[in-house]
Structures are given as C-alpha cells and as structure tokens.
Amino acid sequence: MTVDKMDPVEVFAAGEKGRGLRLTKGMSAGDVVFAEASFAAVVFDSLSLQVCHSCFRRQSNPHRCAQCKFAHYCNRTCQRAAWDEHKQECSSIRKIGKAPNENVRLAARIMWRIHKNTGLVSDSQLTTLDLLEDHLSQMSPEDLKELRVDVQNFFQYWPKKSKPVGEDYVAHIIGVAVGVGLFPNLCLVNHDCWPNCSVILNHGDQTALDTTFHSERRIELRALEKISEGEELSVSYVDFLHVSKERQRLLKQQYHFDCKCEHCTHADKDQLMTAVKDKSPADVVKQVTDLSLQALTKIEEARTERNFHEVIKLCQECLEKQESVFEDTHLLLLRVLSTASEVLSFLQNFHQAAGYLLRMVDGYSKLYHHNNAQLGMAIMRAGVTHWHAGLIEVAHGLICRAFAILMITHGPHHPITKDLEAMRTQTELELRLFKQNKQVYDNMREAVLSKKPLMLAGEQVPIKATS
C-alpha cells in the first residue's frame, strides 16, 4: 500500500513517462519542495578511500574500520553512528575477503533495510520499492550481462543466515538503485533537460550532539523558479552542457528512455554550444575540432600523471587554435578553459586562472539556466580565484552573484552556502578598505601573503595570516 499524496506534492499519471510528481500548491524559487532521507546509500568505489562512509564528506586522512579495512570515517563519532548500517556489511566483507562493487553493496543495504522496515520506512514515502521502475526490459544485452554478474556477486556477498531472496528481485533492486543511493520519492520525479527543480545532498549536521542528526543523509528538492499548482516537477539526470543528441544518448544508455523534452526536441542551445566565428571555413572548423578532441585526451593523460606544467602547455596550445575559430560558448573551448583554470589555480598562478575563469563563466551564463547549481559553483570558483589574485572588486561581485544562486539551489543552511556567506562578508570588508586607500590595502595584502610585518606611518603593525 502506498501514500499517493504528501503535502505539497502528489503522484500522478505522466503519460509516456509513467508516474510523476506534481505540486498541490505553488512554489517560489528557493523553496524546498520536500526533503528525503536516503533509504540506503553507499560511497562510490572510486571515492571509497577519500569519503566518509557515514556522512559522505571528503576527508584527507579518514579513520579506517579495523575489522573490514574497507569503510572509512571522519572519526569515531561517524563510525559509531554508521555501525547499525555497517555491521552486516562489515561481516560480509570479511567473509569474502574484499568489498564488492557499489551496485552489490547498495543492493545489499537496500535488502537489509527492507527486511528491517518492510520497504516503507516513513509516512511521507510515496511508493514502495516494488513499484519503482527497474528498466530491465529496456536494457541492452551488454547491460543485462553486467547486471547478471552483479546478481551472482550479490549472492556470494549475501550472508547465508540472512533472509533468502530471489534472483529476479535482486535484479529488480539493482535496476532500481541507480547511483550512490536510493531515494524512493525522488525516483518519482521525471527528467527534463531544463528542469524546474534542483536536487542537493545534505550531509547532516556534524556539530549535533545527537548522532542521528550527525549521520543523516538526505536530499532536498528545491524549486529553481516559480512553479504553479498542478505543474509537474522535474530534475535533470545529466549535465546540460552536452548537445541535445549527446544528452539523449547518455539518457538512453544510463536511464533507458528517449528524452523528448523541449530542449532536446528543438535542439535549443545546440547552436551556441557549437558556435564558430563568422566566415570560418568548414574544413578549418573540422580541423580545429579534431585537434581539440585529441588535445583533450592528451591533457587528461598529463593531468592523471600529475604533469601539471604539461597540462598548461597543452591547454594554451589548444586555446591558440580554438580562439580564432570557436566562440566562447563552444563546449570544447569551455572544457579547455575549465581544465586550464583549475590547474593554474592549483599552481597558484591566480591571475592567469582568473582570466580563463571569467571567459568560462561568461560562456556558462549563456548556456545554463540562470539558477543552475553548476553555474553557481563555477561563479564561486571564479570569485575565489580573483580574491586570491588580489582583484577584490571583481572577486566581491562574483562571490555575491554566486551566493544569490546557491541560496536558491543549496539553501542558507548548506555548508557551501555558509562558507560563501563568510567569503562575501570578508570580501566586502576588504573592498571597503580598498576603496578607502588602495595602497594600504595592497600593503596589507602583501604582508599577509608574505607573512612580513606591515609598516604604516613608520610603525610596525602585527598582522596574523589566516588559513
């Protein structure tokens, strides 16, 4: 039995898309439509050594479970909070000698949760796992083959003393559980490449004395714009920065449906994403496109090898070719700008990185929804880089702009928004000092960066550098 309605949303028949969620009352940009704790969640295999397996925060030196030697945590507090969920997993990992892949681990956590809570864990859950679409009938032979391997690995992992489960049901669970976690209500929200909602993961309150709040993992579905009563809710399953055919290919491959949203049907923004400068010959465009694709492969190889100076050299050579042919909204040029700016920032060449980031943000702003979280994060990165470069006027403007977006996509209580608010306050103070006396500001900044004493009116002023 399911609950079909939860203020302010309800389940409805969405035609070819199956079921969907729609509003029962209007919402404004930034409003939380609903929040939902994960039914079950695991850390991606690629992040298993870097992310806490309780709160999912990235850690530089996490504490490892002494028994299974697989799970990692922020500290003992996170480990204790996760034990109820981890204890069966810990025993199974020790039994087979290694941790299975993320699909198997997530399926097992889901099954343990079902046996404990019968698949409906709160009054606000709008559906059971049995009713969620697994898309098995739409999977390719290759995907089905991989799924069968996961099912077999599941039964090697699943403890014999646990309640028996059937192969078909395990396949259904693996088909339902796409990604790092399972959120039943969120599964009912259909895709649109230009959505009216955004999903953000909230890691829980790490300062709370009650470990229930400390370890809670939940998503928040937030409105990106004004949404009317009765309007369907939508989120984007893939990053918008792909041409429509590529987004459709990714959605078909990963989620097994053909996207027929307005932006795919009319190829909106495709021209901008592939825009070239006037009078660029077709053969030259093809030549630079091929060169860019080859360069991006070499750039990624150099980056993987941590040969960062080679990354910058390759990026600059590629940009020289691109700039005479591609407009600043061309996806290949934006990819090079993004990589170059990130590596230059790592090398602390903030001035050059800031220039690349301004161009990247300008391109993103013409492509993304004005309240897109990716856009907000990119603007924040540009603001912080300009701040490091000492370009305080531009830095403050960018940080304020990013803050306005992230207040909608992340909300005022998210750690990223709180950090950004602190940056906004700091840059506002620095900007005020800069406008009052640029020389004093420059001297103070130089003293902080070099950790030298600041001299004002012939007297030494102690300044403490903050990290």
Summarize the confidence of residues 252-257 as an average pLDDT. Answer: 89
Q: Where are the alpha helices (DSSP H) in 243-325?
A: 244-255, 262-265, 270-273, 282-304, 308-322
Reply yes or no on whether the pLDDT at 61 is more than 60.
yes
- Confidence check: pLDDT of 191 > 80: yes
Does 458 score more than 60 pLDDT?
no
419 vs 55, 414, 422, CA distance in Å? 18, 9, 5
> Please, what is the average pLDDT of the chain?
89
Q: Who wins on pLDDT, 228 or 440?
A: 228
For 321-369, write each residue's pLDDT tens digit. 999 999 999 999 999 999 999 999 999 999 999 999 999 999 999 999 9
State which amino acid sits at residue 403: F
**Structure confidence by residue, pLDDT tens digits, 391-403:** 999 999 999 999 9
Distance of CA 120 to the CA centre of its chain: 27
* Buried-state track 400-429, b at ≥16 Cβ within 10 A, e below 16: bbbbebbbbbbbeebebbeebeebbeebee
- Which helix (H) or strand (E) is 63 found in, with range? strand 63-64
Q: How far is CA 148 from CA 11, 25, 104, 141, 168, in A?
A: 32, 43, 11, 11, 10
Collapse the DSSP code of 371 into the 3-class scheme (helix H, G, I; strand E, B; otherwise coil) and give the result. Answer: coil
Cβ contact 201:217 at 8 Å? yes
Q: Could you tell me which residues are beta bridge partners of residue 34?
A: 221
Please state, for a pLDDT cut of 70, what percent of the chain lies above it.
91
In 97-236, which ranges are continuous DSSP H helix?
102-117, 141-157, 167-176, 211-215
pLDDT, position 205? 53
Q: What is the mean pLDDT of residues 103-123?
A: 83
CA distance 361 to 236: 20
Q: How far is CA 441 from the centre of its chain?
A: 36
CA distances from 85 to 39, 53, 100 (A): 11, 10, 16
Provide the pLDDT confidence category of residue 259 given band limits of 50, 70 and 90: very high
- The neighbour count for residue 388, using CB atoms within 10 Å, is 16
Lowest mean per-residue pLDDT among 55-59, 157-161, 307-311: 55-59
Q: What is the pTM of this model?
A: 0.85
Radius of gyration of the chain from its Cα atoms, rounded to whole angstroms: 25
Is a pLDDT exceeding 80 seen at residue 127?
A: yes
**Burial category of 457 from C-beta neighbours within 10 Å (exposed 0-12, middle 13-18, buried 19 and up):** exposed
Q: How many whole angstroms separate alpha carbon 18 and alpha carbon 181?
A: 22
SS3 279: coil
Q: Among 141, 153, 157, 150, which Cα is nearest to 172's? A: 150
3-class DSSP assignment, residue 404: helix
Q: Give me the pLDDT at residue 216, please.
A: 59
Q: Percent of the chain, pLDDT > 90? A: 66
Looking at the predicted structure, is the pLDDT value of residue 1 above 50? no
